[in-house]
Structure 1
Amino acid sequence: MKIVERPDYREFESYVIELFKNAGFNIEVSRGTASYDFIMSKDGIRYIVDVKYYRSNSIANSSLRNAAYRMMAFNHAIKEEFIIVVPTSCLVCENSIKVNDKIIYIWTIENLLFFANTYELKSKLAQFTDVSLEQLSPKPPLLSSVSEDYNALGSQEKIANEVESKCDEYIKIFQSGQQKDFTTYEKVCCEALMLLFEDHLCLWGTQKTSNDNLYRFDTVCRIRENITSAFWHFIEEYFNSKYIIFEYKNYSNPITQKEVYTTARYLYSKAFRNVAIIIAVEGNDTENSYKAAKGVLREEGKLIILLSNDDMVKMLKKKKDNEDPSDYLYDKLDNMMIELEK
């Protein structure tokens, strides 16, 4: 699956088109200076669609009204239904806007979630919002003719089966040990982490380099807004960390204190980045690297959690059993804090 590191309007529009094509709509992309993005049709009914991408989780109704008026100003003589699509919850914006005698429908992220009937589509949708999808319920759009042949409950069951299958797939990979190269291991780790924590983390930026090009870290994520996970809430509140660094080590031996101290250099409080997680095939040599991680926590207030392939397997099994895999990280943190020396 393609990871959208910094979502923008074009990527969101492409996703919406992909989503509606999957739902059986025919798509005609607009050309030139049209005031809409595409026309979709199904069963003889045509819908003019304008896609708006906002980074904010709430949209001023005035912004939606301005978009609606602009659509009507250029298309006032058209008889088709009008739809504006936004990656925002229906709880914070209007469901429809009336312009003259025409109703323009607002389709929100709950409506898009209704159409996201595969794990791949749902996972892509999660990349376009800071809100956790686990807090939202799929909602049929207001147009009954669009949703009458859709089974939202069946879609959720299908997604759950796909998640279970993917967990089994990654469990086998991590149980197989060291991968053929570092790139493969990084890809596997990042995809597995997205599967585990996409409800709690977003952005998933990969292969980041420090400003002076001296250090490179594998993945950086941001904690989503209003999450329910106790672990990530604790990290955000008590470690003042909004961003999390992940490092992947495809080593045949356990990592040493060197990797811990190198990772610690990436962390600093002014960037709200005080937490890192290192995943290594064989984990850590408890004698040195684990002591180094505790020393960094005690002396600098930076948290570095050390994981192995076996730890990844255990978290994937929790995910498969519909448990929260972040609870496993919480247990790791508890043990580390309890064992912390003066």
Structure 2
Amino acid sequence: MAGVHGGVGVSERAELAAQFETLVGEILRKYIKGADVSRNRKVDEQFGFVDLILSASGKRYAVEVKIFGDLHIPDFYLRDSFRQVRNCLAHGAFDYGLLVVSGLVSQAGRKTAERLSDRVLLLDLQDLLGMALQTGHQTILKNLISMLAPFSQIEPQPNISSEMPLELFHLERTLVENETDDSSETLLHSEEFKRQLNALRCGRASARSYENLIESILKRLLSAHLENWQSQVRSDTGMSRNDFVARVNSQHDFWSVVRDHFNSLYVIFEMKNYCDTVGQDQIFATERYLYRNALRNSAFLFSRRGLTENADKAAKGALREHGKLILGFNDADLAEMLDLWGSGDDPVIVMSQKLDKMLIEIER
């Protein structure tokens, strides 16, 4: 969209996701003898498309590839992703499902995964690196992961002891009875939020409705990372008001950077339902709300069309001169976050890559 600045574009993030998906297909094809892999095949009208279809040893596998902006994957994301693969199996002629994730799964997470399905297998980053050692893709895989999770402080090691994949593909596990499958419900919430956002008119008359909608969306998207949400917070002097404030409570790489490196135990959210792009005056106003000594040094500004070029420069200036972080998001960014959430991926990757781009581009 013309006039929108201040972050990694949707097309760039989509390209990273497509590159990872393609690389996973190449690793599987080369690692598994006689394997055939096809991309983006339609399952049926209700489910839509599956990322990859793997054919090997006379079996068909529905492969879902999930990207995350953090190398440590929370269990709740894992559950949502597993349910999506199970939903795919219910709608297509597949023998097994395979969930491939761009991060690391804990032992507890693996045990949870084993309980979730008798026909869905999990490959995390350690498994992929172990396979990539044998296929010659290790360097390109590590480089791609560094772009997907730019703030990770760990160096993932390959799993070289696994007997993946052919033996594990034929393991049968005990099916968990009465397991609620709510991945389709999450997708419906995502689509409904996008519908409401598209239907809401810009301008002063709808400003409060816009604030309420964005607050509802962000509480869904970020509930695992933020707590103690407070709306319409006034300062102790009564001279300023923030749309809402939340406290960081997360080990996610992005939120750890915000809390530990930008001195922000608390983060501010501002919503502007302007019909035009947001100008630099609004950035200067938001900057005045930020106060490092109060552990409130970061703000996220949501608007319909994003920032002007001058506003983007003002946000970079606030960071360069005062160490204050202000990131801008538009409707397209929010829609992408909803799409990621609806498909079981990590919506925070949009925020992470915006920060990554800002830090790379900023000048002295």
With structure 1 as the length reference, what TM-score do the two structures score?
A: 0.53
Q: Could you tell me which residue of structure 2 aligns to residue 261 of structure 1? A: 284
Give 3-state SS (helix, strand or coil) of 1:247's partner. Answer: strand
List gaps (5 residues or longer) in structure 1.
1-133, 138-150
| Larger deviation, residues 168-177 vs 275-284 | 168-177
CA 152–233 in structure 1, closer or farther in 2 if over 3 Å, else same = farther
Please tell me whether the aligned partners of residues 283 and 311 of structure 2 are also in contact (alpha carbons under 8 angstroms). Answer: yes
Structure 2 counterpart of 1:333, one-letter code = L
Aligned to 2:269: 246
- Is the counterpart of residue 293 in structure 1 residue 315 in structure 2? yes
Are residue 189 (structure 1) and residue 214 (structure 2) matched?
A: yes
- Once residues 207 and 179 of structure 2 are traced to their aligned partners in structure 1, the CA distance between those partners, rounded to angstroms, is 39
User: For residues 172 and 267 of structure 1, what CA distance do their matches in structure 2 show?
Assistant: 33
CA distance in 2, matches of 1:153, 1:232: 35
**SS of the counterpart of 2:179?**
helix
Q: Secondary structure at the match of 2:346?
A: coil
Letter in 1 for 2:215: C
C-alpha displacement of 1:302? 0.4
SS of 1:169's equivalent in the other structure is: helix
Aligned to 1:321: 343
Letter matched to residue 311 of structure 1: D
Distance 2:246 2:178 in 1: 30
Shift, 1:154, TM fit: 2.7
1:341 aligns with 2:342: no
Shift of 1:233: 1.2
User: Normalization by structure 2: what TM-score?
Assistant: 0.50
**Secondary structure of residue in 2 paired with 1:316:** helix
Q: Which residue, 259, 262, 274 being the options, matches 2:297?
A: 274
Q: 2:244 aligns with which of 194, 219, 238?
A: 219
Q: CA deviation at 1:153?
A: 5.5
Provide, for residues 14-63 of structure 1, a one-character-per-residue CA deviation record: whole Å limited to 9, x for no partner.
xxxxxxxxxxxxxxxxxxxxxxxxxxxxxxxxxxxxxxxxxxxxxxxxxx
Aligned counterparts of 2:220 and 2:238: Cα–Cα separation in 1: 30
SS in 1 for 2:289: coil
Offset of 1:211 from its aligned partner?
A: 1.6
Structure 2 residue 356 is matched with structure 1 residue 331: no
Code of the residue aligned with 1:308 in structure 2: it is N
2:200/2:210 contact within 8 Å kept: no
Corresponding residue to 2:235 among 199, 205, 210: 210
Deviations 1:41-94 (A, max 9, x none): xxxxxxxxxxxxxxxxxxxxxxxxxxxxxxxxxxxxxxxxxxxxxxxxxxxxxx
The answer on 1:175 being equivalent to 2:198 is: yes
CA distance in 1, matches of 2:257, 2:285: 24
Equivalent residues, number = 191
Q: Which secondary structure does the structure 2 equivalent of 1:318 belong to?
A: helix
Superposition map of 1:7-86 within 5 A = none
Matched-pair identity in % = 33
Cα distance in 1 between the residues matched to 2:350 and 2:362: 19
Task: Mark the structure with the bigger radius of gyration.
Answer: 1
